[in-house]
Amino acid sequence: KIKAVSNGLLIDSTSFSNGYKKFTYKSKYPVTHYLLFVAGGEYEILKDKNTDFSSSEDLLLEHFLFKETFDRSREDLELIKVIYERLKRFTGDYPFKDELYGIVEVSWPFGGMEHQTRSAISTDAFKGLYSAYGLQAHEFAHQWFGNLVTCKSWKDIWLNEGFATYFEQLAYLSKDNEIKIDLPEVDFYGSVYKTDGFIFSRTVYDKGAWILEMLRHELGNEKFFRLIREYLNWYKYSNASTEDFIQLVNQVSQKDYRWFFDQWLYSRISRPFFEVKLKSEKRDNHYFCRVDLKQLQPEMIFQTHLDLKLIFDDESEKTIQVFVDARHKVISFQSDVELNQVLIDPENKILKSVVYK
Ligand SMILES: [Zn+2]
């Protein structure tokens, strides 16, 4: 009744006269030490497949589930197919397709772990009615970001966790062709590049994902997703460091983005704090409008593109983009209508804090 599971495919199982049973698993793909995995128990196996219409190759799915809660978990695991179709648009095909992908239900109190080809997920995450979407998407995204390309050292852990958090969101929130990301706008402690402290922190996960979101806005969708494909292709079944990634960013963009990574990734300063003041004065028949944008954080000055949504007295609106690279930036212009309000970064493209004076 007892079944054992590990990475890759079961190639042999032998029963012995003393009641013992031996299971042999094999994987042809290179795997790093921390992704190795063994579990055993009275599992019920759910075999399924995801028919891949674009390449006419199926992805085999094989889940090891607890018997008592089999139906509940089976319902939730239907989501993997949706997650795969959505992720694949950005990452390409599942990297261990010659073998399989599967969830192994475990009795941990919470969370999951992205063992290569066999993600373990806490039994408490499965609630039925298609739950555990985010967690399933996160562990599945790790099969590319972490497993196919593994961070070179633990200092580079954001290449695993920041990326998995970001692509989890792309799979979770982005239907069809829209791209929707929802990340917390809070202060993050310490730098994303880990030289000290706990490496599995919100800074690594959420600010790491913020860095990718801000980079996407810097590069534009076409270049950003090309960068992701090239990153996966260049470092597949191997390791990458933060510096490797930055080099590739510069290569794909044909620009030097060192400043971007210095301020967002290596720096310990959480985010810019903007203070905004606006003035609109009538002279002759025109309004002279002035927006004062100050950075209040004392430690350093951030450089960033910033959208300003201008709302006028006649309810007309206009969005302009400025590049902020000084402690105090003044944007002035003339208008026929009075300027009523200015909104900084209305689409939340930048990690920041704003006070309106
Ligand atoms: Zn993770």
Q: What's the gap in Å between 23 CA and the centre of ligand 1?
A: 28
Q: What's the gap in Å between 343 CA and the centre of ligand 1?
A: 34
Q: What's the gap in Å between 204 CA and the centre of ligand 1?
A: 10
Q: What's the gap in Å between 161 CA and the centre of ligand 1?
A: 5
| Average pLDDT for 165-184 | 85
Specify whether the CB–CB gap between 101 and 61 falls below 8 A. yes
Q: What's the gap in Å between 140 CA and the centre of ligand 1?
A: 9
Distance CA 142, CA 150 (A): 9
Q: What's the gap in Å between 40 CA and the centre of ligand 1?
A: 23
Which residues, including other chains, have CB under 8 Å from residue 345's CB and lie 6 or more apart? 306, 307, 352, 354
Looking at residue 74, its amino acid is: R
In the chain, the percentage of residues whose pLDDT exceeds 70 is 97
Q: What's the gap in Å between 212 CA and the centre of ligand 1?
A: 15
pLDDT-based confidence at residue 178 (cuts at 50, 70, 90): confident
pLDDT in tens, 299-325: 999 999 999 999 999 999 999 999 999
Does the pLDDT at position 23 exceed 90?
yes
Q: What's the gap in Å between 258 CA and the centre of ligand 1?
A: 26
Distance CA 172, CA 110 (A): 19
* Measured torsion, CA atoms of residues 201, 205, 210, 211, in degrees rounded to the nearest 10: 90
Q: What's the gap in Å between 111 CA and the centre of ligand 1?
A: 9
In this prediction, residue 52 carries a pLDDT of 67
Which residues, including other chains, have CB under 8 Å from residue 247's CB and lie 6 or more apart? none
Residue 305 phi/psi, 5° resolution? Answer: -75, 145
| Average pLDDT for 3-28 | 95
Does the pLDDT at position 53 exceed 80?
no
- Alpha-helical (H) ranges within the chain are 70-77, 79-91, 133-142, 158-173, 202, 208-219, 221-234, 242-253, 258-261
Could you tell me the two tokens for 82? 């949706």
Q: What's the gap in Å between 124 CA and the centre of ligand 1?
A: 17
ipTM value: 0.99
pLDDT in tens, 188-227: 999 999 988 889 999 999 999 999 999 999 999 999 999 9
Q: What's the gap in Å between 154 CA and the centre of ligand 1?
A: 13
Specify whether the CB–CB gap between 173 and 209 falls below 8 A. no
| Average pLDDT for 31-51 | 93
Q: What's the gap in Å between 187 CA and the centre of ligand 1?
A: 21
pLDDT-based confidence at residue 129 (cuts at 50, 70, 90): confident
Q: What's the gap in Å between 256 CA and the centre of ligand 1?
A: 29
Q: What's the gap in Å between 275 CA and the centre of ligand 1?
A: 35
Q: What are the structural domains, with CATH classification, of the chain? A: 3-143 (3.30.2010.30), 150-266 (1.10.390.10), 273-356 (2.60.40.1840)
Q: What's the gap in Å between 121 CA and the centre of ligand 1?
A: 12
Q: What's the gap in Å between 113 CA and the centre of ligand 1?
A: 7
pLDDT in tens, 327-337: 999 999 999 99
Q: What's the gap in Å between 156 CA and the centre of ligand 1?
A: 13
In this prediction, residue 186 carries a pLDDT of 93
Q: What's the gap in Å between 172 CA and the centre of ligand 1?
A: 15
Q: How are beta strands 102-106 and 118-122 bridged, if at all?
A: parallel
Does the pLDDT at position 54 exceed 80?
no
Does the pLDDT at position 55 exceed 70?
no
Q: What's the gap in Å between 300 CA and the centre of ligand 1?
A: 31
Q: What's the gap in Å between 142 CA and the centre of ligand 1?
A: 7
- 54-78 residues labelled b (16+ CB within 10 A) or e (exposed): eeeeebbbbbbbbeeeeebbbebbe
CA 68 to chain centre: 33
Q: What's the gap in Å between 346 CA and the centre of ligand 1?
A: 29
Mean pLDDT of the chain: 93
Distance CA 306, CA 303 (A): 9
Q: What's the gap in Å between 164 CA and the centre of ligand 1?
A: 6
